[in-house]
Amino acid sequence: MNFEILHLFPIKRDGNSYTDERGLARIKSRNIKSTRGNPLNPCTISFIVYPGTLLFLISLLVLAGCTVFTPATPTPLPTIVLDQESSALPTSPQIDSGAVVASGSMTPAQEARLVFTLGGKVAAVNVSVGEAVAEGQVLAQLEGQESLGAAVSAAEFELEQAQQALDALSKDMDVQLAQALKAIADYQDALRDAERALSNMQAAAPQVDIDTAYANMILAQDKLDKARDDFEPFENKPETNVERAAMLSRLAQAQKDYDATVRTYNHLIGTTNSIDQNQAEADLALAQAQLAKAQRDYDILSAGPDPDQVRLAEARLKNARTQLEAAQAALEQLTLAAPFAGVVAQVNISSGEWVTPGQPILVLADIQNLHVETSDLSERDLPKIAIGQSVMVFVKALGEQFSGRVSNIAPLAETLGGDVVYTTTIELDAPPPGLRAGMSVEVQFETE
């Protein structure tokens, strides 16, 4: 450690001690010498150290009084070095004449002060100071994860339902068109049959058809009478009787056949009753209405999904997405994750504490990627600096010099001691081992 001793009275040496002539101060040292080798000047401003106490006395002597003891030309102030064998800091390399030089420090490529955007109770702090973390790793969490997680699940379900509803409007369109065409063909057949039936009722039939229908009616009447006679002995038998059931079935079929021959005969001779006439007309009207509906359905399908339904389904889907994004954002705000890979530099909270929005929680730094940031590059030297310019960086703690290049120049200036300065960023070509954030550096910009 170096000490500069200022004195008022001459100092004399006694072994390893130095005492002023009046005995007011005494200094002991294993090794003491003057750094300049000049005689001690008794005519200076001095600091006198009294045994047991420290008293600073500043004395200003009249120049005329000093000339009695000193020559006309002042001599340099001597410096006495104590414990010279202690290690000295490395000196900076020689600076080229006219070079631009600036001081700076090693700075992490990325540094972030992390905060919660919501207030709440801290549920967990998952890291400690000095711990390396990966990008996206969860560092801390607030309480309330369960309720917001349920909200996210509900929003996801609604989004899926809305998407399915929209897809259903245009799903299997080819199949639906084919089904609509088949429905048109079926209703066209039904319309033709209804028209034919009504026409037969209204038109006169050939005599041969009438005779044939009459004969069929007589035969059916005879068959019906025989079936009645056969069933009569079993009429009072239990309904579960097999023979009775067989006779009843024959009777029912005979009745059905007879009714059909009667309708045919009446139709041919033009004596259709009003009920049959009304039924035929109703069948014709129904067939016409069904065919018209099938044609409209086909036309709608051909034009694509209903625009109103599509708009409604799209609006529902958009709202579902918005609700999901809001729920996810609220859930994410309860979790503090690392924005990049780095080392935890500070932890300002503990589990169970209450925090407010914007309160500093953690400091994360990327100390694996360091660069230089200057602190005092003057505006007068800035025109000589450019992006990509070569520089030499002297790291004081390592006592070595390394090459690098300017990677960025701050667009805005700062004020330092009344001088306008610009921060420049420098990337080292080959960062050395042992380099740490915060180390002081001296940057020499290579200029022509």
| 266-307 pLDDT tens trace | 877 765 667 877 888 898 899 999 999 999 888 888 877 778
Average pLDDT (20-29) is 44
**Same structural domain for residues 356 and 391?**
no
Binned at pLDDT 50, 70 and 90, residue 94 comes out as: low
**Same structural domain for residues 122 and 59?**
no
Asked if 361 and 394 count as a contact pair (C-beta separation under 8 A), the reply is: no
Binned at pLDDT 50, 70 and 90, residue 36 comes out as: very low
Residue with tokens 């990337």: 427
Q: How many residues does the chain have?
A: 448
Distance separating alpha carbons of residues 439 and 370, to the nearest angstrom: 10
Q: What's residue 322's pLDDT? A: 94
Average pLDDT (113-131) is 92
Assigned domain for 424 exists: yes
Spatial neighbors of 367 by CB under 8 A, at least 6 apart, are 108, 342, 343, 436, 437
Assigned domain for 166 exists: no
Asked if 18 and 26 count as a contact pair (C-beta separation under 8 A), the reply is: yes
**Closest residue by Cα to residue 6 from 76, 108, 69:** 76
**Share above pLDDT 70 across residues of the chain, in percent, rounded to a whole number:** 76
| pTM exceeding 0.85 | no
**Same structural domain for residues 415 and 342?**
no
More confident residue, 408 or 2: 408
Residue with tokens 């600076």: 95
**Same structural domain for residues 347 and 406?**
no
At 70-87, the pLDDT tens digits run 444 445 444 444 444 444
**Closest residue by Cα to residue 443 from 431, 420, 430, 427:** 427
Q: Looking at the 3D structure of the chain, how many domains does it have?
A: 3
Q: Is the pLDDT assigned to residue 158 strictly greater than 50?
A: yes
**Same structural domain for residues 34 and 63?**
yes
Assigned domain for 416 exists: yes
Q: Is the pLDDT assigned to residue 65 strictly greater than 80?
A: no
Q: How many CA atoms lie within 13 A of 149 on its CB side?
A: 6
**Same structural domain for residues 404 and 438?**
yes
Q: Is the pLDDT assigned to residue 92 strictly greater than 90?
A: no
Q: How many CA atoms lie within 13 A of 114 on its CB side?
A: 28
Amino acid at 383: P
At 314-345, the pLDDT tens digits run 999 999 999 999 988 888 889 999 999 999 99
Q: Which helix (H) or strand (E) is 178 found in, with range? A: helix 173-202
**Same structural domain for residues 373 and 438?**
yes
Assigned domain for 53 exists: yes
Assigned domain for 124 exists: yes
Assigned domain for 224 exists: no
More confident residue, 244 or 7: 244
Assigned domain for 259 exists: no
Spatial neighbors of 237 by CB under 8 A, at least 6 apart, are 243, 244
At 353-411, the pLDDT tens digits run 999 999 999 999 998 889 999 999 999 999 999 999 999 999 999 999 999 999 999 99
Please state at what angle helix 242-269 crosses helix 274-302, rounded to 10 degrees.
90
Asked if 33 and 80 count as a contact pair (C-beta separation under 8 A), the reply is: yes
User: Which CATH number fits the domain that encloses residue 380?
Assistant: 2.40.30.170
**Same structural domain for residues 48 and 29?**
yes
Spatial neighbors of 315 by CB under 8 A, at least 6 apart, are none
**Same structural domain for residues 426 and 402?**
yes
Distance separating alpha carbons of residues 373 and 385, to the nearest angstrom: 14
Mean pLDDT of the chain: 80
Spatial neighbors of 199 by CB under 8 A, at least 6 apart, are none
Q: Which residues partner with 385 through β-bridges?
A: none
**Same structural domain for residues 359 and 412?**
no
Q: Is the pLDDT assigned to residue 45 strictly greater than 70?
A: no
User: Which CATH number fits the domain that encloses residue 121?
Assistant: 2.40.50.100
Asked if 7 and 15 count as a contact pair (C-beta separation under 8 A), the reply is: no
Q: Is the pLDDT assigned to residue 8 strictly greater than 70?
A: no
The whole domain housing 59 covers: 1-88
Assigned domain for 237 exists: no
Three-state SS across 93-145? CCCCCCCEEEEEEEEECCEEEEECCCCEEEEEECCCCCCEECCCCEEEEECCH
**Same structural domain for residues 10 and 47?**
yes
**Same structural domain for residues 46 and 19?**
yes
